[in-house]
Structure 1
C-alpha cells in the first residue's frame, strides 16, 4: 500500500474546509450530541459536501426566454446523476444530496464489515441502469480501512460506471491511500482527513460508528 496521503500529494482528494462544514462536523464529533441532532447535522452537512462533489458536473447550453429577452443559458448535460448509497450509513447523506439534485437516480450497495477480518461482505446491490452514461456519486460517511469503499467502487465499475466521485464525512489516511491505490480515477470529497485508524479499524479521533450514531443502535 502507498504511504498515507494528503490533498497536496493526491489531487483526487478534496477537503471541504468551509466554516459551516467544520462547525457542523465538530458538533457531530461530540459524544454528547443526540441521535436526532446527529441525523439532522448529517443531512445539513451532506448538502455542503455535495455542492463541492458535484462542482464539475458537465454543462451544455440551451436557449430560454427570460421576462426581458431570449438568451443562451447553461443546463446540466447528459443523463441524470446517479447517487449510490453504501448501506446503511450512506443513507444519512442521501436525503441532503437529493435536495441538491432531486431528479437524480438512486441506487444502493449493501456491504458490511466482518469485524474479525475487516473485509467487506456484499449482501445487496441495486443500481440505476446505464451507469456508463451517468456521473455517479457514491455515499458513505466513513472512509476507514477503505476495503468496503473499494469493494463498492468495484461493483459500480462492474455495472459500467466510469465517472465516479466518492463523498464521505471523514477519511483516514489509510483509507485514502487504499482508494488511491485501487481506484486512482475516483475523486474523494470529505470534510476531514483524520489522524489514523485504531486497532479495531475505527477512525481516530473520528466520531464513532456513523450508522450507530445516526440510527441510535448503540
Structure 2
C-alpha cells in the first residue's frame, strides 16, 4: 500500500454508509452497520499483509499453503468511537493483539487531550492498524500516531469510516508514512470541527449518548 489515501468504493460499503448517515437510523442499527462495514473496509487495509508458506495435510494430500507471516497484528482503538470499528475488524482477525489510546477533543481549542494509553508489546515487529470512525481535524489522529511511534510502531495503517479533506491533509503533513483507508472523503468541516455532510457524532450514535 503506497498511496496515502484509499477510498473503498465497494457498492456494499457505500450502501451501508448511506444507511448510517440517515439521522433516523437507530442506535442498534447504527452499531450493527458499523460492525458490518468494518468487515468490508478491513479487507482493504489488510490487502498487503505479508504471507509465508507452511506445510499442511489436506484430506487428500500434503501441500504448501499460505499463512500470515510474522507476529500477530496490533489493532489500536482510538477511544471511544474506535471500539465500533475494532469489534468488526476483530471478527476477521480474532488473534490480533489489541491496544487503546484514550483521547478527547477539547471543545474550545479542538486539540486532543490524552487520558489513557495501553498497547501491546513489540509494536516495532507488528503491523499496526489504528481505528477511529471519524478523521475530522486530524489532530487527535495525528496525536495518537505520535504515541504509537513513540511506543515503537513503524508499520502503521489508519482505518476510518469518514474523512474530511482537512483531516487527510493534517495526517499527511504529520505522518506521510501512514496510509489512510476510509469509506468516504466528505466535503469539509463545519465551524465546530464536525464532518459535513457526515453522520453526526459517531460515538454518540453508537452508544446512544449525547
TM over 0.5: yes
Q: Are 2:100 and 1:108 aligned?
A: yes
Report the alpha carbon displacement of residue 141 of structure 1 after superposing the two structures with TM: 0.1
**What SS does the aligned partner of 1:74 have?**
strand
- 1:38 counterpart (30, 41, 45): 30
- 1:16 matched residue in structure 2: 8
- 1:148 matched residue in structure 2: 140
User: d(CA) in 1 for partners of 2:49 and 2:82?
Assistant: 21
Aligned 1:47-62 pairs, distance under 5 A: 47-62=39-54
Q: Are 2:118 and 1:118 aligned?
A: no
Gaps of 5+ in 2: none
Q: Are 2:175 and 1:183 aligned?
A: yes
User: d(CA) in 2 for partners of 1:99 and 1:36?
Assistant: 18
**What SS does the aligned partner of 2:158 have?**
strand
- 1:4 matched residue in structure 2: none
Report the alpha carbon displacement of residue 70 of structure 1 after superposing the two structures with TM: 1.3
TM-score between the two structures when normalised by the length of structure 2:
0.98
- 2:55 matched residue in structure 1: 63
- 1:196 counterpart (184, 188, 195): 188
User: d(CA) in 2 for partners of 1:53 and 1:80?
Assistant: 15
- 1:159 counterpart (146, 151, 170): 151
User: d(CA) in 1 for partners of 2:8 and 2:22?
Assistant: 20
Report the alpha carbon displacement of residue 67 of structure 1 after superposing the two structures with TM: 1.5
- 1:82 matched residue in structure 2: 74
- 1:214 counterpart (184, 206, 210): 206
User: d(CA) in 1 for partners of 2:141 and 2:148?
Assistant: 11
User: d(CA) in 2 for partners of 1:75 and 1:179?
Assistant: 32
Report the alpha carbon displacement of residue 205 of structure 1 after superposing the two structures with TM: 0.3
Aligned-pair RMSD on alpha carbons?
0.8
TM-score between the two structures when normalised by the length of structure 1:
0.95
User: d(CA) in 1 for partners of 2:51 and 2:209?
Assistant: 42
Residue-pair matches, total: 209
Gaps of 5+ in 1: 1-9
Report the alpha carbon displacement of residue 66 of structure 1 after superposing the two structures with TM: 1.3
User: d(CA) in 1 for partners of 2:188 and 2:208?
Assistant: 25
**What SS does the aligned partner of 2:184 have?**
strand
Report the alpha carbon displacement of residue 71 of structure 1 after superposing the two structures with TM: 1.1
